A and B are shown apart, each in its own frame.
Chain A
Amino acid sequence: MHPALSVIFFTAVSGTGYGLVFLIGLAFAIDPLACDPFVALLATACGAVLAAAGLTSSTLHLGQPLRAWRAFSQWRSSWLSREGVAAVLCFVPTIALGVLVWRHYPALAGDASDISTASLLRLTGAALAAGAVVTVFCTARIYTSLKTIAAWHNSYVLPGYLLLGLLGGAVTLWTIDALASGDSAPWLQRGVPAVVALCAIAGAALKRAYWRFIDSPRPASTIESATGLGRFGSVRGVEAPHTEENYLTHEMGFVLARKHSARLRQIAALLFAAAPVALVVLATVLPSARVGLSCAIVALVGVTVGTFVERWLFFAEAKHVVMLYYAGTRDRAEG
């Protein structure tokens, strides 16, 4: 599949944004007093901006972006529509949490004993965490629901989206926390880098299994079933319908990635998994604010670039079943 930059940016950046607000929401749901209010505000704002940037980028992919509002209408059948609805609905608890933290800033920052809205904060946090998970779930289901693309229609893709979104969010929160040198509860300050390391390890294991899965295809469809001519023997294309490229060969017949896929997979795993794990270990071994901040920033850059490479491969390596019709004739058209 053709890897459109706008869609790669959308899935990677909005995934990170929702991962970030998920963690903030979760922290408030567990203990409204755990998170430093400045860190909470900054992270919530950051998450909202990332999610909004991702959504805006996804509309750049559209042929008629001014009609994008129509995409909220078909949530009963379409995962893309559900994703749009969930993404917009998720802004409600995001903004609500931001407003609540802003209003109760002194209470949250100082003497916490007189805070009266603890349960409301808890509830908003829980709603935000749930909303973020639902939105990324819907994003992934857009791809996993396509039976025509075996590399997407499998059980590795959905957890991959959730895990890498969480990883991106955790590493961003780690950086924000280190930058603000906030006064969060110790379990939260130590927990965030731990989440980074765990997500990185789990993400690497999952992607490894995924790549192994797509490398051993068990195709349900073949050129024989696509043409129905298998009853007469094996089928080979001799002439394509058109001498030039068309929309299908552009969009579904992207072949550039496969040449360097092994190398690119290594680069992706190194950046989004190995680098953050090493940096979390380094920051734990050398507990100084400056080392912590440097580690967090380098890990953030690594995870961001690594996730982009991973997402590029996700699109570029995926083969669409329609290309069966062009089997044997495509190479000649290109050569």
Chain B
Amino acid sequence: MTMLPPPSPKKLGLVIDLDTCVGCHACAVACKQWNDGGEFGPLPDEHPYGKDPLGVWFNRVHTYEVRGEERGVRSEGEIKSAVVTALRRLPKAELKNGASPSERSSAFPSPLTPNPSLEMTVHFPRSCLHCETPDCVTVCPTGASYKRAEDGIVLVDEDKCIGCKLCSWACPYGAREYSQVRGTMQKCTLCVDRIYNESFEEIDRQPACVMACPTRARHFGDLGDPDSAVSKLVAERGGYDLMPELGYKPVNKYLPPRPRRDGCSAQPIVATDEKVDFSSAAPLLRWIDKVLSR
């Protein structure tokens, strides 16, 4: 059934910390390994040892460079002059009289100014966000793509999928990859075969990516429960949604990189002369230094 279930109180998902992720791809590899051998598997690749290997991964780690810029705050006068300029350019531009200064300043943003202390390299794991209102579920013509009513996990029933690929077109996050070998669509299961697996120790009932992360940049939990550890983490660190403008309400949240502790930009490495103090060295070394320095 591809109608969305009524919103569930339980919303299982991940919180990904972009501050601590080091881009080691361990989560991606662990995911591939678990899902190739777990209940979901296999995750076969096309010509894995050939010239153009191609295969499904549920998790992909990108690396981005952030230039480091910020918007200054504009004074009322500057906003007024920006409004006047804009009105001259577009005679039909509508401006509400009652707009607050903040509304007006967001309508006429000030230009970006460089701020080197915000420059950074960010490693960015990308996987299914288990959205609350995903189109990938509702576009499915067969009912293979579904969102679980009990915990909100978005899954594909591999026995019903006809491989029309429409769900992958509907997903803006690239969470779904089609397997040419299996002829069906594949996606992150949030390790549904681990997290409820009673043959595992309690501590192991977590997604493989979370278990593998060496810097604990990935957290798993119930984001529908405001008192859960993950919800508190999101509240404390200002966790955010990816592409909120599309309205799919992702459950997974990303934690922004924290500002540098010293507030400075990365210092360029400056080559300095090495200085060795031989006065306190052993007599033999002092003698050798004397002889070689002649």
Contact = CB atoms under 8 A, between A and B. Distances in A.
Interface of A: 1, 61-65, 67-68, 70-74, 76-81, 84, 142, 145-149, 220-221, 223, 225-229, 231-242, 244-248, 250-252, 320-322, 325-326, 329
Interface in B158-190: 160-166, 168-174, 177-180, 182-185
Interface in B22-37: 23, 25, 28
Contact of A247 (B172, B178, B245, B257): B178
B162 A65 contact: yes
Contacts of B184: 63-64
B60 A242 contact: yes
Given A142-B166, A147-B135, A236-B67, A67 B160 contact: yes
B139 A247 contact: no
Contacts of B3: 74, 76-77
A70 B67 CA distance: 49
Given A71-B162, A232-B120, A225 B244 contact: yes
Across the A-B interface, the 7 shortest Cβ-Cβ residue pairs: A63-B163, A63-B183, A233-B69, A241-B60, A81-B141, A239-B63, A70-B142
B231 interface: no
Contacts of A226: 172, 242-243
Interface string B53-66: 11111001111111
8 contacts: A61-B165, A67-B160, A74-B1, A149-B169, A220-B246, A229-B64, A241-B57, A251-B178
B163 A62 contact: yes
Given A63-B184, A229-B256, A237-B64, 19 more contacts: A65-B162, A67-B162, A70-B144, A73-B141, A74-B1, A78-B2, A78-B140, A146-B169, A148-B169, A233-B66, A233-B69, A238-B64, A242-B60, A244-B52, A246-B57, A246-B60, A247-B168, A247-B177, A248-B177
A265 B61 CA distance: 38
Interface in B120-171: 120-122, 124, 126, 135, 137-144, 160-166, 168-171
Contact of B54 (A72, A247, A252): A247
A62 B65 contact: no
Contacts of B166: 78, 80, 142
A241 B61 contact: yes
A148 B170 contact: yes
Contacts of A225: 242-245
B240 interface: yes
B23 to A, nearest CB: 8
B115 interface: yes
A325 B62 contact: yes
B160 A70 contact: yes
Classify chain B's interface size.
35 or more
Contacts of B56: 247
A227 B25 CA distance: 18
Contacts of A61: 164-165
Given A147-B246, A237-B64, A70 B162 contact: yes
Most-contacted residue by chain B among A72, A221, A223, A329 (CB, 10 A): A221
Contacts of A325: 62, 126, 174
A322 B172 contact: yes
B204 interface: no
A75 to B, nearest CB: 8
Contact of A238 (B54, B65, B177): B65
A62 B183 CA distance: 8
A64 B61 contact: no
A148 B136 CA distance: 11
A23 B35 CA distance: 53
B141 A70 contact: yes
Contact of A147 (B162, B172, B241): B172
